[in-house]
Copies of this chain bind each other. A is one copy, B any other.
Amino acid sequence: MFRIAIIGAGNVAWHLASNLEKEGHQITEVYSRNLANAKALARTLWNAKPTNSLDFSHSQASIFLVCVSDNALQEVIEQIALPEEVIIAHTSGTHSLEILERANAYIGVFYPLQTFTKDKEVNFKNVPICLEANEAEVLEVLIELAESISSQVYEISTPQRQVLHLSAVFACNFTNFLFTISKEILERNEMPFDLLQNLIQETVQKAFVLSPENAQTGPAKRGDTSIVEKHLTLLESYPVEWKVLYELFTQQIRAYYQNIT
């Protein structure tokens, strides 16, 4: 069991705090610049003190998890006052480990790779937690903490974490925008987006069972130019950028599979 202070009261703070408490850790304080937000989160916890002061010099916590937005991180670290011999870790996907150095403590990164939404519970056991530390002892403590709430714990360096974020942009942000396009095409033709739910779920499942490069299907992969031409004609009544995207993907998929075979 660790005593943990949670710095921040946003989505990551809510999900982390409740999951840590559920696994037997004690949340000592919840900080937010806005005391009302700290109180709202603290009320859901057993015995956490809400605060809007960054003076933690008398805190009983041994681990300080900083769950604030990327923009606010630097300011929080400059102002925080910590007891001696504690660990401070941030939860950011983009900031380096070194940004914590001025906090005068042992430092680490505790980055849960997930998209958190208010009121939507997440099964933390399957959320990868990406850890980093510059001392072996600190890493060991963070591993113990992470393994208590998740079965997927990885050691990931700062450059890796930044590349991981880039790959997630391709796999999730761009993918979601393709869903937006797809939905609009369907709805303009009086069909519901739900029609595709099962097919999309099977596509994702196949990508992880077979690996995406083996799971690829469709006219571009098959080199079915008559279907591709038909689709480009259909796309003439939509924003021209969608046609550009269609052509770009088709060329790249075709090139990828021509090089392989």
Binding site for B on A (CB under 8 A): 94, 113-115, 117, 120, 122, 126-128, 152, 154, 156, 159-160, 162-183, 185-186, 189-191, 193-204, 206-213, 215-221, 227, 230-231, 234-235, 241-242, 244-246, 248-249, 251-253, 256
Contact B252 A177 (CB under 8 A): yes
A183-B212 contact given A169-B218, A241-B252, CB 8 Å threshold: yes
Contact A178 B171 (CB under 8 A): yes
Given A170-B181, A174-B178, A241-B252, 4 extra CB contacts under 8 A: A94-B227, A171-B200, A173-B221, A174-B245
Give the most central of A114, A126, A152, A186: most B CB within 10 Å: A186
Instruction: State in angstroms the CA–CA spacing of A113 and B198 once bound together.
Output: 8
Contact A199 B114 (CB under 8 A): yes
A200-B172 contact given A185-B163, A185-B167, CB 8 Å threshold: yes
Contact B248 A183 (CB under 8 A): no
**Chain B residues near A211 (CB-CB < 8 A):** 183, 193
A190-B117 contact given A172-B199, A216-B180, CB 8 Å threshold: no
Shortest CB–CB separation between residue A163 and chain B, in angstroms? Answer: 5
Contact A162 B241 (CB under 8 A): no
Shortest CB–CB separation between residue A177 and chain B, in angstroms? Answer: 5
A182-B167 contact given A173-B253, A253-B173, CB 8 Å threshold: yes
